[in-house]
Chains A and B, each alone.
Chain A
Amino acid sequence: MSRLEELKTRIKEALPGLECVIGWQKGYDALHNTPLFMRSAEDVDKLEWGALNVHNPAVYLPTMAGKKVGVVVKGCDSRSVVELLQENLINRDNIVIFAAGCDGVVDLTKVKAKLAAAGTGAGVVTAVSADGKTVSVTAGGKTVAMPMAEVAADKCLRCQYPNAVLADTFVGTPAPQPTPVPSANADLDALDAMSVPDRMAFWRYHMDRCIRCYACRNACPMCVCRDHCIAQSREPHWLSQDDSVTEKLMFQVVHAMHLAGRCTECGECQRACPMDIPVLALKKHLNRTIHDLFDYQAGVDAAAIPPLLQFKTEEVNIKERSW
């Protein structure tokens, strides 16, 4: 039985005791899958597993507090579930985790660029097939074969957890441990190489096209303030409604600071951005700092206390007395 068929069988078995199970189904065209909320056996038959399951379904869990729900996860998604558990934002007794080995997902922005280079476009895609090594996309009558390594999401290129770090039901054989690709951190490397004024100019250039839709925030599984975010509150009045780069960049800094040591780098903020702004780099930078200071990685151990949620009188790597 394939991973997908086994997942469907196991979900159907569990469904009677659950409000719903969250997974993915085919979307409005062959290139887009979309989150699926399974409430009946017919819904489960729509389930998909593969390279187009780009979304992180953990984002929905904190909004369903008090209900017993199932969630299908990739390795990266499972880290968000674990981080939510670490912070007591969801109740373990109310979550049933279904998982299978993940061979990576595509970055639709990279797919779009490949299609444009081939003289066609993402808007006219009629068929997609993926076998783990190659993604073949048919658009405007042309079939473009793309090596997975060239169109995979950056997070897949640096993935250490292709198999869920926590699961109640894991189907099929685990995916092999991927070899990290050096270019996976090209975004941070490029920013590191810039002078401070150049870096500021980089962010001002990119944030200028921000439309303040807050898709980055709402797609983030760890952004749990949701309706009460200081970006939109009038009391406190931290941000103005001015359409200025300063306000837009300020929000990104607030977002990144709130995620320091909590972000699992699932990349949903950047994937969700309709304007293709590379906002994940800000969180990656802070995570790197957290890693250097506390030797900590978010969302891999449900029993671990995140470093900024605890207090030690003497930190190993912070020499407060030797200034």
Chain B
Amino acid sequence: MAAVKYISREKLPEWLKALAAERRLLVPVEEGGAVVFRAYDPAKAPVFGSDATAPPKGSVFPASKELFSYTYGKEGEDAKPTLTLDPKTTAEPTVVFGSKPCGARGFLIFDRVYMGKKFPDPYYIAAREATVFVTMACDTVENTCFCHWVGSGPADPAGSDLLLTPVAGGWLVEAVSAKGEPLLASPALTDGAAKAAEAEEVKAKTRAALGEAPDISTSKEALLARFDDMDFWRDQSDKCISCGACTYLCPTCYCFSITDEGSGMSGKRLRSWDACMHFQFTLEASGHNPRPTKAHRLKNRVGHKFSYYPTLHDGLIACCGCGRCVKSCPVSVDIREIVQNAVAKAKA
């Protein structure tokens, strides 16, 4: 039986301070109207109410990560040039505190790509193993939430190490993984058994507020059937302005670009977030681009999440239903609508 604890609102700063003393602690804070994950500062109260504007993706997969630095050297006219590489594979022990279940679940999609047998990624693995997710279950749902469409829910523990559920006066704290359990040792936490029933009620009520999810179980085939239907994709992408907001705010978008940034004899190799909404994403050295228009690019984004990825990975949809791509899109492109349109067209 996993430990069940309780933390009161008053005691929370004590727990956070203790966590921050031993490792990097990232919490959602308000910055100029947006909510972003930043290193914990006891002077700045975290924002736990609504979901953060940007998910905690950068905690494990930074917007740009230095893979190694390089220096060329040359001793004397006839000597062979030397090359010194300094790889940066170590990761800082980190706790991500206060993400919603969807934000933590996003890394399950990453894991299959970067921790698989075929191409294990040492940078990702180091960061993933060094990071613990203390997640907060939702007690409200927004118009853009659709975690229940993709096999998740507002109290989904998958991808998290501890799960906190809001109850009167504080949160019930449940250990989800062995990695999370040591964090329960803080004296700020008390026994939570008496609050367990209330937490279950909150979970059930929040799940009920989402209502029934439409049946999108045929999305794999339905989207594939539309692959060559560019009129369909023109209609879906007409209003898209081809920016990267959806992609960069997505907890499951894992694509990257590699660039060498340096001058003269030294520099660094960076791995940076890339976005399939950008023209450069598939631009080939010849100048040819297999995805020349935004219709081709949006087709890829939706198809990847709801068809190609699940085909390769046991039906797992590469979307956690957080709704950021809908909510933060400058023109309100709605991925739910596109998937449903494809599903409906396949049935017709």
Contact = CB atoms under 8 A, between A and B. Distances in A.
Interface of A: 20, 27-29, 32-37, 55, 59-60, 109, 112-113, 121, 123-125, 205-206, 208-209, 211-215, 217-219, 226-228, 232-234, 240-243, 268, 271-272, 274-278
Nearest to B274: A241
Contacts of A206: 32
B63 A211 contact: yes
Contacts of A218: 241-243, 330
Given A34-B333, A234-B259, A274-B249, 14 more contacts: A28-B326, A34-B239, A60-B238, A125-B143, A211-B245, A211-B248, A213-B275, A214-B244, A214-B278, A215-B244, A219-B331, A240-B261, A242-B64, A272-B243
Interface of B: 31-34, 36, 50, 53-54, 62-64, 140-145, 235, 238-239, 241-245, 247-249, 257, 259, 261, 270, 272-273, 275, 278-280, 326-328, 330-334, 336-337
Contacts of B143: 28-29, 123-125
Contacts of A219: 241, 243, 330-331
B32 A232 contact: no
B245 A274 contact: yes
Contact of B63 (A212, A226, A240): A212
Contacts of B54: 209, 211, 275
Nearest to A57: B239
B230 to A, nearest CB: 15
Contacts, number: 140
A27 B334 contact: yes
B334 A123 contact: no
Nearest to A276: B33
B34 A28 contact: no
A35 B244 contact: no
A212 B273 CA distance: 9
A54 to B, nearest CB: 9
A280 to B, nearest CB: 14
Contact of A215 (B50, B243, B332, B336): B243
Nearest to A31: B143
Contacts of B53: 274-276
B243 A213 contact: yes
B31 A209 contact: yes
Nearest to A20: B238
B31 A37 contact: no
19 contacts: A34-B333, A55-B331, A123-B142, A205-B32, A209-B34, A209-B54, A211-B245, A212-B63, A212-B248, A213-B245, A214-B278, A215-B241, A215-B244, A232-B280, A240-B259, A243-B272, A274-B34, A274-B53, A274-B245
